[in-house]
Amino acid sequence: MIVEIGHFALALALGVAVVQALVPLWGVARHDRALAGVGSAAAVTCFLLVALSFGALVASYARSDFSVENVVANSHSTQPLIYKFTSVWGNHEGSMLLWVLILTLFGALVAMSRRSLPVRLRAGTLAAQGMVTVAFLAFTLLTSNPFRRMLPAPPEGQDLNPILQDLGLAIHPPLLYVGYVGFSITYAFAVAALIDGRIDAVWARAVRPWTLLAWVFLTLGIAMGSYWAYYELGWGGWWFWDPVENASLMPWLAGTALIHSTVVMEKRDSLKVWTILLAILTFSLSLLGTFIVRSGVLTSVHSFASDPSRGLFILGILIFFVGGSLALFAWRAPLLRQGGLFAPVSREGALVVNNVFIATACATVFIGTLYPLVLEMVTGDKISVGPPFFNATFIPVLVPLLLVLPLGQSLAWKRGDLLGAAQRNAMAFGIAIVVALAAIALTRGGPVLAPLGIGLGVFLVAGAAFDLGERIVARASGWPAMLSRAKGLPRSTWGAAFAHAGVGLSVIGIAAAAWSTEAIGVLKPGERLTSGRYTIVLESILPRSGPNFRAEVARFQIFSGNRELGPLEAGKRVYTARAMPTTEAGIHTDGLSQAYVALGEPQGDGAIAVRLYDKPLILLIWIGAIVMAFGGALSLTDRRFRLAAPRRAAPQPVAAQPAE
């Protein structure tokens, strides 16, 4: 009964979403508050229904209800409970339900944020969100129904793809989806603004926290996915320029640009056309990612649905939402009023530079991702656009951006002083040069670009720190004054500093990857293998069995020089239900560096092929991403967003502010 209730709730949600898409829009057009109010009620109802439905599917998985086709295809009764839960979204149908759940969750959040959103904007946004919800609910119900029954029920399920049987599946997709789908709300904001014709600083302020929220989750989701690929796929890489990874990178880049352009729009009421376009493009790129992953256009770990009819449906959704919103944009954008002015050299100008570079970077990824797909479709030729292309296009675009980043963040609004900004960053630049030179001296004969990359990363971190420091220290005397200045600094300033420092940390981690070393050997127990700073000694190879897999585990002792770091295990598993092998890399974390051991094939005479990597400073890549996300979250708690209670609040009395 639970299954059927969940199914019916999903069908009911479709009807409610149709009402959500139509009625508030009419209310906005006719200035009718009662009709607009239906949008909020519908959004909350829709969320509750989808949540009920999702709960029903989770219950079916937890109870191994093999009368549900989806449960049969993706779970097994011997799975540990945690993987029974995560199996829910480890497949096409279930992940679509998660997608819709998050879509409606954002709708409900917008509906409930009564204080921070203008009513007309809220109604319009909910209507646009309702349309997206209708499309995806229909897609889920009609082509990817997770509640399809299978009778008679088979005695056992087919188990989940072993690569997905990992804690990563519990974390990576939900984070990523909150990011992807979160950008649907900025899209809905843009559509609502275009329909209503009011696009101004109010809009920018309203949309900014939602953009930040989505961006924070997308950042964490991508970082988590990258780390998961790093330790699960067993070849020690953390980014492969795989089309599916690019599909998540593109909305992230566009979203990053959007975060920066909304700042200008909020402050100066300018860059409106561009910001609206970015809001539309960001979600369009999310949709494109969905299309690439689920249409069967390509095969990868992620492409669990390769049904052409589904691809066609998503293509229809893509064309309707992207084409429709761009048409609306083309019609409405020329009507926008001119905003405030600013000089080329100013904080605003720097943010425009940021947008130009990031948009270009996004375009290179777009071309590198889609060109091979389109070429294959048109001519049938298979070409592979791999790291060389992206290294040659993406990095040259990003490096200048990162070089001017610290300058931009220390420029004044409206009209800045480039020389002053340069002077303020001279210290950070000096530190960066010293570090880079030290790196060159220490690793003589190594890769040339790596020390420069390290220097760039240090420049970013130091620049962010000095920028904060200067604002706290300037003109202040004594600790109490400095502390009060630090407290008085807006959270968004802290957030920006952290996010930029996070970028720096990631850059350091990426640059240091150039020093990573790899060694391959065939070891018998007692033999050793050395790579870079690390040496491993194979102790024994033993069989082991888990709840739904058998494993062969190799035990090593790991040494750094003569210092013993402890035991390390690496393994290969065979999951019995699908007879599929996976590698379980053995990773030893040593400060910020890692030693990475992956097992190859056994050689018959008791020996086994082993690969050992020395990955210096690799953890910084993901730590940087987490720091970035932390900065975004910090910015999200800024006073502006907490106190944007428009109807009740009196304007903040200026005199009451502490002198910062």
Q: Which helix (H) or strand (E) holds 618?
A: none
Identify residues 11-30 at the interface with other proteins (CB under 8 A): 11-12, 14-16, 18-19, 22-23, 26-28, 30
Neighbours of 307 (CB within 10 A): 14
* C-alpha Rg value of the chain to the nearest Å: 27
Question: Which residue among 55, 109, 113, 153 contacts other proteins (CB under 8 A)?
Answer: 153
- If the CB atoms of residues 198 and 533 are measured against other proteins, the closer one turns out to be 198
Q: Report how far residue 94's alpha carbon sits from residue 72's, in angstroms, rounded to the nearest whole number.
A: 12
Residue 145 binding other proteins, by CB under 8 A: yes
Question: Which residue among 98, 121, 287, 634 contacts other proteins (CB under 8 A)?
Answer: 121
| Pairing mode, strands 528-531 and 586-590 | unpaired
Residue 147 binding other proteins, by CB under 8 A: yes
Residue 94 binding other proteins, by CB under 8 A: no
Q: What SS3 state is found at 575?
A: strand
Size of the residue set binding other proteins (CB under 8 A): 90
Residue 118 binding other proteins, by CB under 8 A: yes
Identify residues 213-272 at the interface with other proteins (CB under 8 A): 267-269
Exposure on the CB side of residue 174, measured as CA atoms within 13 A: 11
Residue 597, beta-bridge partner list? 586, 612
Identify residues 53-92 at the interface with other proteins (CB under 8 A): 60, 63-67, 77-78
Question: Which residue among 152, 478, 543, 591 contacts other proteins (CB under 8 A)?
Answer: 152
- If the CB atoms of residues 416 and 632 are measured against other proteins, the closer one turns out to be 416
Identify residues 456-475 at the interface with other proteins (CB under 8 A): 471, 474
Distance set, CA 73 to CA 66, 202, 518, 574, 636 (Å): 9, 48, 38, 18, 41
| Pairing mode, strands 549-560 and 580-584 | unpaired
Question: Which residue among 57, 88, 92, 120 contacts other proteins (CB under 8 A)?
Answer: 120
Q: Measured from the CB of residue 91, what is the shortest distance to other proteins in angstroms?
A: 18
Distance set, CA 658 to CA 391, 415, 479, 497, 654 (Å): 48, 25, 16, 21, 9
Residue 155 binding other proteins, by CB under 8 A: yes
DSSP 166: S
- If the CB atoms of residues 337 and 444 are measured against other proteins, the closer one turns out to be 337
Give residues with Cβ within 8 angstroms of 271, minimum separation 6. Answer: 261, 264, 265, 339, 348, 352, 355
CB 411 within 8 A of CB 345: yes
Identify residues 164-193 at the interface with other proteins (CB under 8 A): none
Q: Measured from the CB of residue 425, what is the shortest distance to other proteins in angstroms?
A: 16
Segment contacting other proteins by CB under 8 A, of 249-257, 278-286, 354-362, 651-659? 651-659
Residue 567, beta-bridge partner list? 557
Identify residues 613-642 at the interface with other proteins (CB under 8 A): 640
Distance set, CA 652 to CA 268, 490, 646, 657 (Å): 19, 14, 11, 9
Q: Measured from the CB of residue 554, what is the shortest distance to other proteins in angstroms?
A: 25
Q: Measured from the CB of residue 290, what is the shortest distance to other proteins in angstroms?
A: 21
Residue 156 binding other proteins, by CB under 8 A: yes
| Pairing mode, strands 549-560 and 586-590 | unpaired
Q: Measured from the CB of residue 641, what is the shortest distance to other proteins in angstroms?
A: 12
Q: For 260-278, give the DSSP string.
A: HHHHHHHHHS-SHHHHHHH
Segment contacting other proteins by CB under 8 A, of 96-104, 118-126, 212-220, 509-517? 118-126
Question: Which residue among 88, 105, 128, 201 contacts other proteins (CB under 8 A)?
Answer: 201
Identify residues 392-421 at the interface with other proteins (CB under 8 A): 412-415
Q: Which helix (H) or strand (E) holds 608?
A: strand 608-615
Residue 434 binding other proteins, by CB under 8 A: no
Question: Which residue among 113, 149, 356, 626 contacts other proteins (CB under 8 A)?
Answer: 149
Residue 477 binding other proteins, by CB under 8 A: no
What the block records as the tokens of 428 is 């950070």
Residue 41 binding other proteins, by CB under 8 A: yes
Q: Measured from the CB of residue 70, what is the shortest distance to other proteins in angstroms?
A: 13
What the block records as the tokens of 64 is 């191994």
Burial letters for 43-54: b for 16+ Cβ neighbours within 10 Å, e otherwise? bbbbbebbbbbb
Exposure on the CB side of residue 536, measured as CA atoms within 13 A: 34
Q: Report how far residue 3's alpha carbon sits from residue 153's, in angstroms, rounded to the nearest whole number.
A: 14
Residue 353 binding other proteins, by CB under 8 A: no
Cis amide prior to 447 (ω within 30 degrees): no
- If the CB atoms of residues 444 and 475 are measured against other proteins, the closer one turns out to be 475
Q: Measured from the CB of residue 28, what is the shortest distance to other proteins in angstroms?
A: 7
Identify residues 267-326 at the interface with other proteins (CB under 8 A): 267-269
Residue 657 binding other proteins, by CB under 8 A: yes
Residue 483 binding other proteins, by CB under 8 A: no
Segment contacting other proteins by CB under 8 A, of 197-205, 282-290, 394-402, 562-570? 197-205
What the block records as the tokens of 449 is 């670009």
Question: Which residue among 312, 330, 341, 520 contacts other proteins (CB under 8 A)?
Answer: 341
